[in-house]
């Protein structure tokens, strides 16, 4: 029988046939597709014809398509529905893919063909997008070491293979720590917890095969437990387990992996002629230099820390009024911040949550896309990789645009966090293809599923990434959608969060799970009024993580990353009761791959732009202004990486923003 991963997919919209694929299919399909991809590359490199854009750059664009198909399915299920076999395959595939990438970028004949085109680019009569693709292709080869020779070339290949192994191990260790720990709760331990937390804990217990409720390390469960549980002893146990992920000793400890990763990255940068990995990494981003990143982060750190210190004093007084002496601890902050929010804003998250039903928030995200961009969403009944997944066909004026898949619920087989990926990107070459886009989240299951306000923001955030993929309108897949500078890629996602805060959106879609009543206006006012509540805490935990990431990569690689982390936090005056959002042993953004290495700052860099971009709608007094929405799509959402990010933003807004809009949006101005 033909392997379903390698067959022509006779499915609606050419979606992967998940119902036909088994774990036994992945390895033979991978090996066959990898061999085909190698043959494609060799055919391009060894082509006796004179190098041309068509027989070299466009040929590269369509090479390895079978491998792309196999990996799009495999990595989708490996990240969102892992099992021991899939983890084993990840460990096996990772070094093979790294070796293949090194072979491609180290192919001297292939690089010579690309470089020949680059030197003659002014005579090739290329379109602006083709010229951009040639530039990006050559740059990627140079930065991967294509110009290296001899021992340096060999060493670069060894480094890249080892980094791939380390990234996979880091991810799997973190998943194991998150999946294996849980804290059983007796009935008396549930006192003070709102019903939605109790229901989520019972559901988590059932998933573990237990009769009673449990707290797991899923963010959607542990954070509300830390917010609402009056049991300080249990909060401390839960928080310490959460903070210790990846640092528990034994086979799943990530500290040595982090140290080796940083050493190899520094060696990689040195081989390519850079002073540091941060210099290498940031060269292609909007920020350009470590100094520019540090300035942004420190411009925000001062106001954020001042707010957090003032807040800590208030929370400490609240704790002492409860008869608890001593310092405010990290497992205390969320509990007393929630009590303070309820007191100052009369906003009770337990009362708010029934108005934030998952299904209604999905409808809200879709409705905003309809009003802004004319998109329509129709449920699609197709086999997917998990029963929790659902799919929609996205159309505009009756024409197919994309397939959107949502996988929203937490489970032990899913890595933590939330993300957006494209199983297939938009393209017009060699023929038109619409994207297949997935949003993956980790919300607590319920009947109905209820979200926190932060959860609802996450849903809008990831859907903003999805829109960037769905509205892409370029020729070549490799520069479509979210294939942009790392510190630009978060702009569409963070910008879309603003539409959740539009009063008319909440007034329409925030309806009570039991009564169906619209959220009362006074509650809506409180929600919006409390939007910047506890922003000192949120900003400090984020900026601290970004500064540690930068420090890891800015100079010589530290032999002891934990000691370096402690040094950075001491130097900036990290408040005692706040921890990094992602401590080193669980900092998957930085150590599961190098996507966000030296780049965790990019969320804030993008936020500077998103605050300014939404102001463009506010200035005309209409969050759904058709002219602004059209300009946003034309200049940012549809363009992918076909033009420089700074050029795109200038085309939309007419100028680059400063940090003031961000500080104002976070409520951190005096």
Q: Which residue numbers are catalytic?
A: 462
Closest CA to 376 of 395, 357, 361, 362: 395
CA distance 60 to 45: 10
Q: How far apart are CA 499 and CA 480, in angstroms?
A: 24
Backbone angles phi and psi of 433, in degrees to 5: -145, 135
Computed on alpha carbons and rounded to an integer, the radius of gyration of the chain in Å comes to 25
* Residues with Cβ within 8 Å of residue 5, at least 6 apart in sequence: 21, 25, 26, 29, 33, 69, 70, 73
Instruction: List, in sequence order, the alpha helices (H) in 81-120.
Output: 84-105, 108-119
Give the span between the Cα atoms of 459 and 418, in whole angstroms.
9
- Cα 550 to Cα 569: distance, rounded to the nearest angstrom: 12
Instruction: Note every long-range contact of 523-528, with CB atoms under 8 Å and residues 24 or more positions apart, other chains counting.
Output: 523/347, 523/351, 523/352, 523/355, 526/345, 526/346, 526/347, 527/347, 527/352, 527/453, 528/501, 528/503
CA distances from 301 to 26, 298, 487, 579 (A): 46, 5, 18, 14
Classify residue 420 as exposed, middle or buried by CB count within 10 Å of its CB (0-12, 13-18, 19+). buried
Task: Find, among 379, 357, 516, 514, the residue nearest to 445 by Cα.
Answer: 357
CA distance readout (Å), 324 to 177, 311, 456, 577 = 31, 17, 34, 15
Angle of helix 23-45 relative to helix 108-119, nearest 10 degrees, comes to 60
Q: Give the whole-angstrom CA distance, residue 393 versus residue 302.
A: 46
CA–CA dist 112, 503 (Å, integer):
57
Query: If you write DSSP's letter for every residue of 523-548 in order, what string do you get?
Result: HHHHHHHTTTTTHHHHHHHHHHHHHH
Contacts of 82 (CB under 8 A, 6+ apart): 175, 413, 414, 415
Give one DSSP letter per residue of 185-199, joined into a string: --GGGGTT--HHHHH
577 Cβ contact partners less than 8 Å away, ≥ 6 residues apart: 312, 315, 327, 328, 329, 330, 332, 333
Q: What is the token pair recorded at 549?
A: 């990431």
Separation of alpha carbons 87 and 533, rounded Å: 40
Contact 47, 27 (CB under 8 A): no
Task: Give, rounded to a whole angstrom, the gap between the first and last alpha carbons of the chain.
Answer: 69
């Amino acid at each position: 029988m033909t392997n379903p991963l390698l067959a022509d997919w006779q499915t609606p919209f050419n979606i992967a046939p998940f119902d036909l694929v088994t774990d036994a299919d992945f390895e033979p399909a991978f090996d066959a597709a990898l061999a085909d991809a190698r043959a494609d590359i060799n055919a391009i490199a060894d082509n006796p014809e004179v190098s041309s854009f068509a027989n070299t750059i466009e040929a590269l664009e369509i090479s390895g398509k079978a491998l792309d198909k196999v990996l799009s399915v495999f990595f989708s299920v490996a990240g969102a529905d892992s099992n021991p076999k899939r983890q084993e395959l990840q460990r096996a595939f990772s070094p093979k893919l790294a070796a293949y990438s090194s072979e491609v970028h180290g192919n001297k004949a292939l690089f010579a063909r690309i470089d020949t085109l680059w030197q003659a680019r002014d005579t090739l009569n290329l379109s602006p997008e083709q010229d951009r693709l040639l530039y990006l292709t050559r740059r990627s080869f140079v930065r991967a070491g294509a110009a290296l020779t001899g021992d340096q070339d060999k060493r670069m290949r060894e480094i890249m293979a080892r980094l791939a192994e380390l990234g996979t191990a880091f991810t799997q260790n973190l998943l194991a720590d998150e999946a294996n720990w849980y804290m059983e709760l007796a009935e008396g331990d549930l006192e003070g917890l709102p019903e939605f937390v109790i229901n989520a804990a019972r559901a988590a217990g059932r998933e573990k095969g237990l009769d009673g409720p449990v707290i797991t390390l899923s963010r959607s469960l542990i954070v509300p437990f830390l917010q609402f549980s009056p049991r300080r002893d249990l909060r401390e146990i839960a928080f310490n387990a959460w903070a210790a992920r990846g640092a528990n000793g034994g086979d799943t400890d990530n500290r040595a992996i982090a140290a080796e990763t940083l050493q190899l990255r520094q060696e990689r940068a040195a081989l390519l002629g850079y002073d540091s990995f941060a210099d290498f990494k940031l060269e292609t981003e909007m920020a350009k230099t470590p100094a520019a990143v540090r300035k942004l982060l420190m411009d925000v750190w001062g106001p954020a820390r001042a707010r957090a210190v003032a807040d800590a004093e208030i929370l400490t007084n609240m704790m002492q009024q409860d008869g608890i002496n001593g310092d405010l601890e990290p497992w205390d902050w969320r509990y007393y911040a929630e009590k303070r929010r309820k007191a100052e804003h009369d906003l009770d998250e337990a009362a708010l949550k029934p108005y934030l039903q998952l299904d209604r928030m999905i409808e809200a995200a879709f409705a905003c896309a309809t009003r802004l961009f004319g998109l329509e969403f129709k449920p699609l009944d197709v086999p997917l990789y998990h029963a929790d997944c659902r799919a929609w066909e996205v159309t505009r004026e009756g024409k197919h645009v994309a397939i959107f898949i949502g996988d929203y619920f937490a489970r032990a087989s899913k890595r933590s966090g939330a993300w957006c990926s494209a199983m297939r990107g938009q393209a017009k070459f060699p023929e038109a293809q619409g994207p297949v886009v997935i949003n993956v989240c980790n919300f607590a299951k319920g009947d109905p599923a209820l979200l926190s306000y932060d959860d609802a923001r996450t849903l809008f955030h990831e859907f903003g990434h999805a829109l960037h993929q769905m509205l892409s309108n370029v020729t070549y897949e490799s520069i479509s959608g979210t294939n942009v500078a790392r510190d630009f890629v978060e702009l569409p996602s963070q910008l879309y969060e603003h539409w959740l805060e539009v009063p008319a959106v909440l007034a329409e879609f925030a309806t009570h799970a039991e009564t169906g009543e619209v959220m009362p206006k006074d509650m809506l006012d409180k929600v919006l009024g409390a939007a910047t509540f506890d922003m000192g805490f949120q900003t400090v935990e984020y900026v601290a993580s970004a500064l540690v990431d930068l420090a890891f990569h800015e100079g010589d690689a530290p032999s002891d990353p934990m000691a370096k982390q402690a040094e950075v936090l001491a130097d900036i005056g990290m408040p005692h009761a706040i921890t990094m959002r992602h401590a080193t042993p669980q900092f998957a953004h930085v150590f599961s791959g190098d996507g966000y290495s030296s780049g965790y700052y990019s969320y804030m860099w993008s936020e500077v732009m998103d605050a300014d971009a939404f102001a463009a709608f506010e200035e005309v007094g209409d969050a759904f202004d058709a002219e602004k929405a059209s300009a946003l799509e034309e200049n940012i959402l549809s363009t992918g990486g076909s033009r420089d990010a700074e050029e795109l933003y200038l085309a939309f807004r007419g100028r680059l923003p400063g940090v003031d809009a961000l500080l104002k949006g976070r409520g951190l101005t005096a």
